[in-house]
Amino acid sequence: MLALVVGVLAWLLPQSDGKSSDVPEGYLGTWRGQVTMTFPDPLGEGRGTGIDEITIEQGSIGDTVVAQRAVDWGQNSGCSRSWQLAEVKSDHIILKAGTTDTPDDLPSGKTCLADLTMSVRLTDKATMVIQADYEILGTATGAFSGSLARQS
């Protein structure tokens, strides 16, 4: 009789897919919004704005959990990249840049930065804020930030 009760309870309880994830559930999904890049530029052209899409999936620390895609950067080509989960804090997650895809039409003299760390924070269930600062040769060189809305 005990075996029957245990069997029925096991059948009634939610089934796990066997995957554990360090990424908090609220972050999962696809997000899109305007991203602004700033960087020192003696000519005063050190700013770019475009639309990025970020898809966040389940995963553990060290796993690739984010695909960031440049959607619309006008005449300036945007860079797309993957991100690994580096840390989970109580109010945000921290990502390290992984593979970077450089667009074929990137203007001469421009490059897609690879050594980036990005902070992602939910402001509510439908909006997140991203912030990344980057360094070149140990010197703070610029940042990108944006507010993205949940798409799915």
C-alpha closest to that of 51 among 88, 19, 16, 80: 80
DSSP reduced 3-state for 4: helix
List per-residue pLDDT tens for the chain, 152 residues long. Answer: 655 444 544 444 444 455 679 999 999 999 999 998 886 655 555 677 889 999 999 999 999 999 999 888 765 567 789 999 999 999 999 999 988 877 666 666 666 777 788 999 999 999 999 998 776 666 666 788 999 999 99
Domains of the chain: 22-150 (2.40.128)
The pTM of the full predicted model, rounded to 2 decimals, is: 0.77
